[in-house]
A and B are shown apart, each in its own frame.
Chain A
Amino acid sequence: MSESVEEYLEAIYAFNEKGELAKNQDLADRLRVSPASVTQMIKKLADEGLLTYEPYKGVLLTGKGTARAQKVVRKHRLIERFLHDALGFSKEKVHDEACRLEHSLSDEVASALCENMSNPPTCPDDGNPIPPCTLDYSTCDQCKALRERESSRLLTQLSRLRPGDSGRVSFTRGGGTARQRIADMGLCHGAEVKVVNAAPFQGPVEVEVRGTRLALGRELADKVYIEVGEAAEPASHPHGPHHVIH
């Protein structure tokens, strides 16, 4: 994934996280680029199915876009946490440092950082949640073995998918007794799901799975991890129509 795509996804994620659509001008300000470049990039990302654009309102990441953004935001916030907690950097400095480091950090190192800091919940500067680990662990002991064989799968929680998004169930983390129930109702490893509806006010999501429709409370949908695609970006043709020339 090119650095600039990551930066865009990260910036849009920051707006969407607060429940806002990311406006063209806001993105231009945040990324210090021209609105014209933003428009161009938004078109490219929309064509890749990473976001949708509503004229005059702004952009919203799709499930796949969220999954990709979460990957880099997670690295960013883990680095911030590490710089602050382990190396004693001040809260003001961690953000800029993390911005530089995040793009070169491998997934394996990110997981190692996470384990080393006992799976921290939030980043130090603004207290935002660190997107969850997408390895199917039940205890941190399994982390090492899992992260070594981590594939290029791109995962996010079912609750992050928007109506119209689809993917394949990978695993359920936590959930107590409901965990078995979720699987029994058909949302078990390998099942194809499509989100058809989401109730407002953090209400349940309605999904299509195995030819029927299910309603799943938001707190349960948070625990189901969905594979939404491959993480590795397909090699884009250098002279393709959406190639961004800087």
Chain B
Amino acid sequence: MSNKENQPKQEKTDVEGVITVALAGNANVGKSVIFNQLTGLHQHVGNWPGKTVKRAEGTLVHDDYTIDVVDLPGIYSLSTYSLEERVSREYIAVEHPDAIINVVDASALERNLFFTAQLLELEPHLIVALNLMDIAGKRGVHVNTRRLSESLGVPVVATTAVKSLGLHELMDEAIRVHKEGSPTSRPLSFGPEVEKTVATLTKALEDLETLYPRRWVAVKLLESDEEIETLVYERSPHIREEVEAAKKKMEEIHGHDTASVITSERYIQASRIAAEVSTHVEPGRSGWRSLEDATSHPVFGYAIMIGVVVGMFFSIFTLGGFATGILGSAFDALKTWYFVAVGEGAIQGFVWSGLIEGVMAGVSIALPYIVPFFLVLSLLEDSGYLARIAFLMDSLMHKIGLHGKGFIPMMLGFGCNVPACLGCSIMETERERLICAFVSSLVPCAARSIVIMGLVATYLGFGWAAALYAIDFALIFILGRIAFKVLPGEPVGLIMEMPIYRRPSAKVTAQRTWFRVKDFVYEAFPIMVAGNFVIYIANALGLIAIIQDIFSPVTVWWLGLPAATGVVLIFGILRKELTLILLASIMGTTNFTLILTTTQMFVFAFVVMIYIPCIATIAVLAKEFGGKTAAIISLTEVLLAVVLGGILYRALLLLGFG
């Protein structure tokens, strides 16, 4: 491309022997698997500056080169539909990685090449990793890599990432194209009509100072890409007229708007190449296919889903409860041993209660539930079943203003709100993410279920516990609707790929679980320890008693609870299940019927369920959406719990309960 030379470009000689490679491709093509296989444990997950989009980076050494790998989010296009798409195209155009590895699903070549066509328009050092070759083979798709490479004009490496096949060659290619100097890839040509318009417009943009290739800018202007329009028309407003005229002419010829015409043109390129380089033999009906049909069936689909979800929670709670029990007694033993070893004393007590106990609580209470939860989640994800759940739950989720994918983080919320809030990044827009995180923070997590089960179900009966859950779901529904109405922006509907079922690989599942647990430990543990520390100090200074007095009008008069619940509720911010344990220790009994009336038990459990997200959840909300949003969500929930708790108390009294 002639416009390449006068374009500002990063110096190629940054550091000898260090090259940056970015992984780009659709979702579910095994991009993250390649990333994990390449970088192993040498990776770091952060956010893109100012965005709620994950940025995963890692390093490896290959042939004396240190290769930095950036895993770009899974996307289908380089338009501005989602935050991920914006982040990716800006990264490719502005930061100029030494090579881009486009991971392509060999079994769905046409849609994947549509994205490849768009990457080529950015004129980078492109390498195609033709992945999932094994699955493609099973589905009767055979791709000729040599011909694909010829058609695209870039190197193509066949890979089967789960088995680490082809990854070595991939890195060889990355180093080779890096040594090669300036990129040799060319955009694919559109049809003659469109190509002529694009060429004319590219010429008109010759004087424009931009980091993006000019041809790409011309195409984006024809597509009415708002970001690029602003960028270009601010500097050269005179071009607008020419663009509008070109668009009008194109629309008259094709009978559709230019954005649709260009998208169709790209798909024509993609399907032409796919047809040229691959052969497809319809395989016999496989067992997987029947399973796919059964799991999204209007009747059996729901039955299977309920079975899977109930089974999942049952096994997680059983396993978690068992592990918590064992770890809890182990720590009790450790505690006894500790005080025997170091002796009783103020400092020793401080070290244990102020510092160690925070960590212990995380390990013995949170992890036993979270580890199996992530494990099961990863299995559901890798197998392709999660998409079926989203499909079946879409119409229900619409009632609370979200689409089907929103069910997934909410489902996570039953285990723990922290991964739920992190999981909201599967929604496409900031608005959807926020609604989703807000409602997810109200989902009764394992800790809240412990209180509900341990207090209400045990002493009042299962019906009362069910009533609490029902109230919670009603609140989620109402607040979801309100958030949906109040928040600015356009609601987004469900569009997602229904991945084919495949057997999850043990290594991939283990890796993914490990990274998620690590993430959770890094995010939540420091806050749990710090929170524990602060409350310990406050308690030691006698502040807690003062706070309790200040709160007593609310707790005693308005909510009708014993004064001691003031302290309990403060500690509950750390971990909600702590409220029950503390209440027992303050009141000096675990027989709650002696200290609480029916009404008090119910109101107490209700307040604990709603009153605030736990401190780890608040921290994650603050990290993902900013401190202000986290504060607003927390305050809303406090107000809600207090107001409704008081009403509930009076209503129950009126109904004649003690």
5 contacting pairs across A/B (C-beta < 8 A) = A180-B259, A180-B263, A199-B395, A210-B267, A211-B107
Residues in A whose Cβ lies below 8 Å from that of B396: 201
Distance A220 CA – B403 CA, assembled complex (angstroms):
11
> Least Cβ distance of A12 to chain B in Å?
22
Query: In chain A, residues 203-217, which have Cβ atoms closer than 8 Å to a Cβ of chain B?
Result: 203-204, 206, 210-217
Distance A172 CA – B257 CA, assembled complex (angstroms):
10
Distance A198 CA – B296 CA, assembled complex (angstroms):
9
Distance A171 CA – B259 CA, assembled complex (angstroms):
11
Q: Would you call A203 and B81 a contact (CB within 8 A)?
A: no
The reply to whether the CB of B308 lies closer than 8 angstroms to some CB of chain A is no
Q: Would you call A206 and B395 a contact (CB within 8 A)?
A: no
Query: In chain B, residues 259-275, which have Cβ atoms closer than 8 Å to a Cβ of chain A?
Result: 259-261, 263-264, 267-268, 271, 274
> Least Cβ distance of B228 to chain A in Å?
13
Q: Would you call B298 and A188 a contact (CB within 8 A)?
A: no
A213: contacting residue among B280, B404, B497, CB under 8 A: B497
Distance A213 CA – B395 CA, assembled complex (angstroms):
19
B111: contacting residue among A179, A186, A219, CB under 8 A: A186
Given the interface contacts A201-B396, A215-B390, A215-B391, does A177 sit within 8 Å of B490 by beta carbon?
A: yes
The reply to whether the CB of B114 lies closer than 8 angstroms to some CB of chain A is yes
Q: Would you call B494 and A199 a contact (CB within 8 A)?
A: no
Query: In chain A, residues 64-98, which have Cβ atoms closer than 8 Å to a Cβ of chain B?
Result: none
Give B387-398 as 1s and 0s: 1 = Cβ < 8 Å from A's Cβ atoms: 100111011101
Q: Would you call B391 and A180 a contact (CB within 8 A)?
A: no
Distance A198 CA – B394 CA, assembled complex (angstroms):
11
The reply to whether the CB of A185 lies closer than 8 angstroms to some CB of chain B is yes
Interface residues of B (CB under 8 A from A): 76-77, 79-81, 107-111, 114, 141, 255-257, 259-261, 263-264, 267-268, 271, 274, 280, 293, 296-298, 301, 387, 390-392, 394-396, 398, 403-404, 490, 492-498, 500
Query: Which A residue's beta carbon lies closest to that of B490?
Result: A176
Distance A183 CA – B296 CA, assembled complex (angstroms):
24
The reply to whether the CB of A191 lies closer than 8 angstroms to some CB of chain B is yes
Q: Would you call A183 and B392 a contact (CB within 8 A)?
A: no
Query: Which A residue's beta carbon lies closest to that of B429?
Result: A177
Given the interface contacts A188-B264, A218-B395, does A178 sit within 8 Å of B77 by beta carbon?
A: no
Residues in B whose Cβ lies below 8 Å from that of A106: none
The reply to whether the CB of A104 lies closer than 8 angstroms to some CB of chain B is no
Q: Would you call A213 and B267 a contact (CB within 8 A)?
A: no
Query: Which A residue's beta carbon lies closest to that of B299?
Result: A200
Interface residues of A (CB under 8 A from B): 136, 138, 146, 171-172, 176-186, 188-191, 197-204, 206, 210-220
Distance A199 CA – B264 CA, assembled complex (angstroms):
28
Residues in A whose Cβ lies below 8 Å from that of B109: 211
Q: Would you call A138 and B257 a contact (CB within 8 A)?
A: yes
Query: Which B residue's beta carbon lies closest to that of A221?
Result: B493
Given the interface contacts A180-B79, A184-B79, A213-B497, does A204 sit within 8 Å of B260 by beta carbon?
A: no
Given the interface contacts A177-B81, A211-B109, does A185 sit within 8 Å of B498 by beta carbon?
A: no
Q: Would you call B77 and A181 a contact (CB within 8 A)?
A: yes
Q: Would you call A190 and B264 a contact (CB within 8 A)?
A: yes
Residues in A whose Cβ lies below 8 Å from that of B404: 203-204, 215, 217
B494: contacting residue among A191, A211, A216, CB under 8 A: A216
Query: Which B residue's beta carbon lies closest to that of A212?
Result: B108
Distance A202 CA – B396 CA, assembled complex (angstroms):
10
Q: Would you call A199 and B394 a contact (CB within 8 A)?
A: yes
Residues in B whose Cβ lies below 8 Å from that of A179: 259
B403: contacting residue among A146, A188, A217, CB under 8 A: A217
Residues in A whose Cβ lies below 8 Å from that of B259: 179-180, 183
Distance A199 CA – B390 CA, assembled complex (angstroms):
11
Residues in A whose Cβ lies below 8 Å from that of B260: 171-172, 183, 188-189
Query: Which A residue's beta carbon lies closest to that of B82?
Result: A181
Distance A213 CA – B105 CA, assembled complex (angstroms):
14
Residues in A whose Cβ lies below 8 Å from that of B114: 184, 186
Q: Would you call B267 and A206 a contact (CB within 8 A)?
A: no
Q: Would you call A199 and B108 a contact (CB within 8 A)?
A: no
Q: Would you call A189 and B256 a contact (CB within 8 A)?
A: yes
Q: Would you call B110 and A203 a contact (CB within 8 A)?
A: no
Residues in A whose Cβ lies below 8 Å from that of B498: 206, 212-215
Residues in B whose Cβ lies below 8 Å from that of A186: 110-111, 114, 267
Q: Would you call B495 and A188 a contact (CB within 8 A)?
A: no
Q: Would you call A136 and B263 a contact (CB within 8 A)?
A: no
Residues in A whose Cβ lies below 8 Å from that of B77: 180-181, 184
Query: Which A residue's beta carbon lies closest to that of B405?
Result: A215
Query: Which B residue's beta carbon lies closest to that of A175?
Result: B493
> Least Cβ distance of A16 to chain B in Å?
17
Residues in A whose Cβ lies below 8 Å from that of B261: 189
Distance A229 CA – B111 CA, assembled complex (angstroms):
25
Q: Would you call B263 and A184 a contact (CB within 8 A)?
A: yes
Q: Would you call A200 and B298 a contact (CB within 8 A)?
A: yes
Q: Would you call A216 and B298 a contact (CB within 8 A)?
A: no
Distance A210 CA – B113 CA, assembled complex (angstroms):
11
Q: Would you call A178 and B493 a contact (CB within 8 A)?
A: yes
> Least Cβ distance of B639 to chain A in Å?
33
Query: Which A residue's beta carbon lies closest to that of B278?
Result: A211
Given the interface contacts A186-B267, A199-B296, A211-B109, does A181 sit within 8 Å of B495 by beta carbon?
A: yes
Query: Which B residue's beta carbon lies closest to that of A204?
Result: B394
Residues in A whose Cβ lies below 8 Å from that of B495: 178, 181-182, 185, 214-217, 220
Residues in B whose Cβ lies below 8 Å from that of A138: 257
Distance A188 CA – B266 CA, assembled complex (angstroms):
10
Q: Would you call B110 and A197 a contact (CB within 8 A)?
A: no
Residues in B whose Cβ lies below 8 Å from that of A176: 490
Given the interface contacts A138-B257, A184-B81, A186-B111, does A204 sit within 8 Å of B494 by beta carbon?
A: yes
Q: Would you call B110 and A217 a contact (CB within 8 A)?
A: no
Distance A207 CA – B267 CA, assembled complex (angstroms):
17
> Least Cβ distance of B389 to chain A in Å?
11
Distance A134 CA – B497 CA, assembled complex (angstroms):
27
Residues in A whose Cβ lies below 8 Å from that of B256: 136, 171, 189
Given the interface contacts A184-B76, A189-B264, A199-B296, does A215 sit within 8 Å of B494 by beta carbon?
A: yes
Q: Would you call B267 and A191 a contact (CB within 8 A)?
A: yes
> Least Cβ distance of A66 to chain B in Å?
19
Q: Would you call A210 and B264 a contact (CB within 8 A)?
A: no
Query: Which B residue's beta carbon lies closest to that of A172?
Result: B260
Query: Which B residue's beta carbon lies closest to that of A202?
Result: B395
> Least Cβ distance of A17 to chain B in Å?
19
Q: Would you call A210 and B394 a contact (CB within 8 A)?
A: no
**Chain B CB within 10 A, most for which of A138, A178, A184, A198:** A184
Given the interface contacts A138-B257, A216-B495, does A211 sit within 8 Å of B108 by beta carbon?
A: yes
Residues in B whose Cβ lies below 8 Å from that of A215: 387, 390-391, 394, 404, 494-498
Residues in B whose Cβ lies below 8 Å from that of A213: 497-498, 500
Distance A218 CA – B500 CA, assembled complex (angstroms):
22
5 closest cross-chain pairs (CB), A and B: A217-B494, A184-B77, A217-B493, A203-B395, A213-B498
Distance A63 CA – B403 CA, assembled complex (angstroms):
25
Distance A43 CA – B257 CA, assembled complex (angstroms):
42
Residues in B whose Cβ lies below 8 Å from that of A181: 76-77, 79, 81, 495
Residues in B whose Cβ lies below 8 Å from that of A201: 395-396
Query: Which B residue's beta carbon lies closest to that of A208?
Result: B498
Query: Which B residue's beta carbon lies closest to that of A207?
Result: B498
B492: contacting residue among A177, A189, A198, CB under 8 A: A177
Distance A211 CA – B141 CA, assembled complex (angstroms):
10
**Chain A CB within 10 A, most for which of B107, B268, B296, B396:** B296
Query: Which B residue's beta carbon lies closest to that of A163?
Result: B298
Query: Which B residue's beta carbon lies closest to that of A138?
Result: B257
**Chain A CB within 10 A, most for which of B141, B267, B490:** B267
Distance A66 CA – B392 CA, assembled complex (angstroms):
25
Distance A203 CA – B301 CA, assembled complex (angstroms):
13
A214: contacting residue among B394, B493, B496, CB under 8 A: B496
Distance A79 CA – B297 CA, assembled complex (angstroms):
41
Distance A190 CA – B267 CA, assembled complex (angstroms):
9
Query: Which A residue's beta carbon lies closest to that of B252?
Result: A145
B394: contacting residue among A146, A182, A217, CB under 8 A: A217
> Least Cβ distance of B409 to chain A in Å?
17
